[in-house]
Structure 1
Amino acid sequence: MTNSARTSPIALFGGFDLRPLIRDERADLAALLRTLSPAQWETPSLCTGWRVRDVVAHLLHDSMPTATYLGDAAKARLSLHRLNDIQVRRAAAWSTDELIDRVEASIDAGLGAAVLPRLSLVDLVIHHQDIRRPLGLDRVIPEARLRAVLDNPDPFAGATNRMRGLRLSAADIDWQVGQGPEVRGPGEAIAMSLAGRPAGLDALDGEGVRVLATRVSRSAPS
């Protein structure tokens, strides 16, 4: 299947059929967190400056009460980086059990899943991998979720610019997009690279990998 669409911020307001995928992804993440040791919770994630526990804390933003989220946004003066910092610092005193309980409580809830399901799903899947990859806990992302993430890359994370002028081809599912020098490999590696994770590049090949790698190196993931 060839998909030539480019996700825009406006398009992210659609995709309400993705909410069951968000629910399943949250449930899978919660199940993983139940297995982690104290040392694994403190392991640096793929997000610069964030441990595994910090990534989990960040993911709880989607289930915050609307008033709390808007209050944090006002304090952050609409800066995404300041907003992330406020929310991660708030959770610094929470135990890992409390973090897990909050993730489990968010499985069937969340403003993001209700209003911006496409953005919510891609953020969740990418950050799930940000946790798993440094811990060496590989998984096969269910195809429906992987395809949804590839079809709806996060424009706020720079994905649109990274994929510009390249042909991206997944080797493990029937998915490809774009025109130009080819980048081919596992769909998960493509998704991680588009999200700015250099760790995804190692599994890719093709004439376009060098171009993609240059674009990925320009920004640190968060």
Structure 2
Amino acid sequence: MTFARQEREDLAAFLATLSEQQWSEPTLCTGWNVRDLVAHVVSFDELDGRGLVRRFVAGRFIPSRINAIGVAEYAKRSPRELLEVLTEHVEPRGFTTGFGGMIALIDGMVHHQDIRRALGMPRDIPPDRLLRTLRLALLAPPIGAFWRARGLRLVASDQAWASGRGPEVRGPAEAILMAVAGRRGVVEELSGPGQRKLAGRINGGT
């Protein structure tokens, strides 16, 4: 939860520097611009238990539908208003606090990078926070990282971290995180005999 809060604080500070035009720019999440993605990140924090159930039922318990409903509910909020919500909820609440804050941490970091990478504005993520997120992402079913990484050995070239067995995939820890999270284009930053297999899984192959 501490890492989740720190990640949200960093995201809020970054978003405060963006222009109105940048809030309209696309992200690595297909179909979502920066404003949409920030709406998604905060869309669960204002829900009580009853509201959460209603959204899940309306979305037929399908994650993509549930997330789309949340974004649509925040469609009329301006970037300033969304940033205010995020600032008020740097300490995650509700659904995203699940598993000790794991949901908020993974969601926050991956989407933070979705925005930064699309805008060409990289950052140095604190290694302890990054590696904790990477380990957790491989355990979180909705991310799909476990299935993309199965049968491969992931090795961070910039951190003392490795996971799995099989053909090696090597590269920066942040790029490994984004690749196993299914972000297209990132896998080209990785190398090794297992890179091609990981690329195929990200692009719809097996």
Q: Which residue of 1 aligns with 2:52?
A: 69
**1:199 Cα deviation after fit:** 2.6
Matched residue type, 2:47 = P
Identity within the alignment, %: 42
TM-score between both structures, scaled by the size of structure 1: 0.87
Counterpart pick for 1:43 among 6, 18, 25: 25
**1:52 Cα deviation after fit:** 0.7
Q: Which residue of 2 aligns with 1:126?
A: 110
Q: Are the equivalent residues in 2 in contact too, given 1:121–1:149 (CA < 8 A)?
A: yes
**1:132 Cα deviation after fit:** 0.5
Q: Are the equivalent residues in 1 in contact too, given 2:97–2:103 (CA < 8 A)?
A: no
Q: Are the equivalent residues in 1 in contact too, given 2:152–2:168 (CA < 8 A)?
A: yes
**1:80 Cα deviation after fit:** 1.3
CA distance in 1, matches of 2:109, 2:43: 15
CA distance in 2, matches of 1:119, 1:182: 28
Matched residue type, 2:136 = N
Matched residue type, 1:28 = D
Name the stretch that deviates more: 92-101 or 150-159: 150-159
- Does 1:156 pair with 2:139? no
CA distance in 2, matches of 1:132, 1:196: 16
**1:104 Cα deviation after fit:** 0.4
Structure 2: gaps spanning 5 or more residues: none
Backbone CA RMSD of aligned residues: 1.3
Q: Are the equivalent residues in 1 in contact too, given 2:44–2:70 (CA < 8 A)?
A: no
Name the stretch that deviates more: 67-76 or 106-115: 106-115
SS in 2 for 1:63: coil
SS in 2 for 1:169: strand
**1:91 Cα deviation after fit:** 1.1
Q: Which residue of 2 aligns with 1:213?
A: 199
**Larger RCO, structures 1/2 (Cα 8 Å, 6+ apart):** 1
**1:203 Cα deviation after fit:** 1.4
Matches within 5 A, 1:136-151: 136-151=120-135
Matches within 5 A, 1:108-119: 108-116=91-99, 117-119=101-103
Q: Which residue of 1 aligns with 2:76?
A: 93
Structure 1: gaps spanning 5 or more residues: 1-18
CA distance in 1, matches of 2:98, 2:194: 35
**1:120 Cα deviation after fit:** 2.2
**1:39 Cα deviation after fit:** 1.1
Q: Which residue of 1 aligns with 2:179?
A: 193
Q: Which residue of 2 aligns with 1:80?
A: 63
How many residue pairs get matched? 201
TM-score between both structures, scaled by the size of structure 2: 0.93
CA distance in 2, matches of 1:179, 1:53: 39
Query: Runs of at least 4 residues of structure 1 off by over 3 A?
Result: none
Q: Which residue of 2 aligns with 1:25?
A: 7
CA distance in 2, matches of 1:112, 1:70: 10
Q: Are the equivalent residues in 2 in contact too, given 1:61–1:69 (CA < 8 A)?
A: no
